[in-house]
């Protein structure tokens, strides 16, 4: 996912909060761009039965916004 987030919370706390969503087993992040007030971040979330709506809620709770979902993989 491409996410636009404020500088606070920092990337570690942001990813930690996302990892607490049910079903999420792994979160990785790369900062793509830094602006005066925001960071553009590429986030990869892995797990089983992840509720994307809950992920978006958690992102919003931290003052950030999902710009796009660039890749989705489903496994049986």
Helices 52-61 and 11-19: angle between axes, nearest 10 degrees: 150
pTM: 0.92
Cα Rg for the chain, rounded, in angstroms? 12
* C-alpha atoms less than 13 angstroms from C-alpha of 46 in its C-beta half-sphere: 5
| Ordered domains of the chain (ranges, CATH) | 2-68 (3.30.70.1340)
Per-residue pLDDT of the chain (76 residues; tens, 9 = 90+): 999 999 999 999 999 999 999 999 999 999 999 999 999 999 999 999 999 999 999 999 999 999 999 999 888 8
């Amino acid at each position: 996912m491409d996410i636009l987030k404020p500088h606070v919370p920092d990337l570690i706390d942001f990813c930690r909060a996302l990892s607490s969503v049910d079903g999420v087993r792994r979160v990785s992040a790369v900062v793509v761009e830094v602006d005066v007030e925001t960071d553009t971040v590429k986030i990869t979330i892995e797990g089983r039965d992840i509720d994307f709506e809950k992920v978006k809620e958690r992102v919003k709770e931290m003052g950030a916004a999902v710009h796009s979902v660039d890749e989705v993989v489903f496994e049986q």
